[in-house]
Amino acid sequence: MNAQLFELVLLTIVTASIPLVIAALGELVTERAGVLNLGVEGMMIVGAALGFAGAWASGSTLVGALCGVAAGMILAALFGLLTIVLAVNQVAAGLALTIFGVGLSGLLGAGFVGLKREGAPHLQLPGLSDLPFVGKLVFGEDAFVYAAFLLVALAAYFLARSRAGLALRAIGDNHDSAHALGLSVRGVRFLAVLFGGACAGLAGAYLSLAYTPFWAPGMTAGRGWIALALVVFASWKPWRVVLGALLFGGATVLQLHAQAASLGLPGQLMSATPYLATILGLVVLSLGARRNSAAPAALGQVFVPPR
């Protein structure tokens, strides 16, 4: 494999990984606060639809990205209202949110099917972007890629070093004790859910604005569910999310190359390879993990403040 082809493969892997990094990171913060939101897929697909619609109407990728973020946050706010304020079961509400989001995206994006636009612009630094192996990989990506890694660094610092992050983790581990200490359990959880929705919406916008710059129904193709699995794979640690996403991205790229090489295997089997790789990774991780996982102790538990 020559240097140019190797760099191209790495670029493709990173590109395939970015929506997973962003969506999984938002879900990770949400779960560290003790809330399990299974509606990531729904928020992503609506973010993709409204992100493309906003970019098409305004001619601006930034406006499209903001529309995607806003769409994810609106659906997340609906989920927060149901599960945090009204104490509805989180699993049922999350599944309903995914079904609702898939249907809503088809309705909102019906007028944009088949339309195409220029993808998100890439950074170009004379001399640096042309370096072998790392030029385009480090100095030639679009803004979504840099934003994803910046979000990972900020989330890692927030959860491990900041006072607010420690409070969020305390709520996720024991909401009753946190409430007794005077922490606003509902308020913190609602903000965490909004952050998760913003990330899911941004991940969806990346798909329609940068990864494949067009809108098509169902274009998330289960990535929201993979993002949920990656949170477990990462043991609720932000930097491990990147490794899990790269694993899935690498499997995606390899199955595309395998199909192009005509190995004689069924196309459906090759398309399922990335998902099988993720499941295998989760199984290996669970076999090597200690009996007590790093999952927040109060994950998925409804909090009702005492009267």
Q: What is the CATH number of domain 3-288?
A: 1.10.3470
Query: Taking Cα atoms as reference points, which of 195, 167, 178 lies closest to residue 305?
Result: 178
Q: Report d(CA 246, CA 12) in Å as an integer.
A: 10
Let me know how many helices (H) and strands (E) the chain has, helices first: 12, 0
User: Per-residue pLDDT for the chain (307 aa), expressed as one digit of tens each?
Assistant: 566 767 777 888 899 899 999 999 999 999 999 999 999 999 999 999 999 999 999 999 999 999 999 999 999 999 999 999 999 999 999 999 999 999 999 999 999 998 988 888 888 877 777 777 777 888 889 999 999 999 999 999 999 999 999 999 999 999 999 999 999 999 999 999 999 999 999 999 999 999 989 999 999 988 999 999 899 888 899 998 998 898 888 777 776 666 555 656 565 666 676 677 767 766 776 665 554 467 899 999 999 888 7
Task: Find, among 43, 40, 85, 42, the residue nearest to 232 by Cα.
Answer: 40
Specify the pTM: 0.91
Do the beta carbons of residue 97 and residue 39 sit within 8 Å? yes
For 283, residues 6+ apart whose C-beta sits below 8 A from its C-beta are: none
Span 216-231, pLDDT tens digits: 999 998 899 999 989 9
Find out whether 47 and 35 touch, Cβ atoms under 8 Å.
no
Residues 97-133 have pLDDT tens digits of 999 999 999 999 999 998 988 888 888 877 777 777 7
pLDDT at residue number 177: 94
HSE at residue 39, side-chain half, CA atoms within 13 A, is: 40
Determine the Cα angle at 152 with ends 151 and 154, to 5°: 65
Residue spans of the domains in the chain: they are 3-288
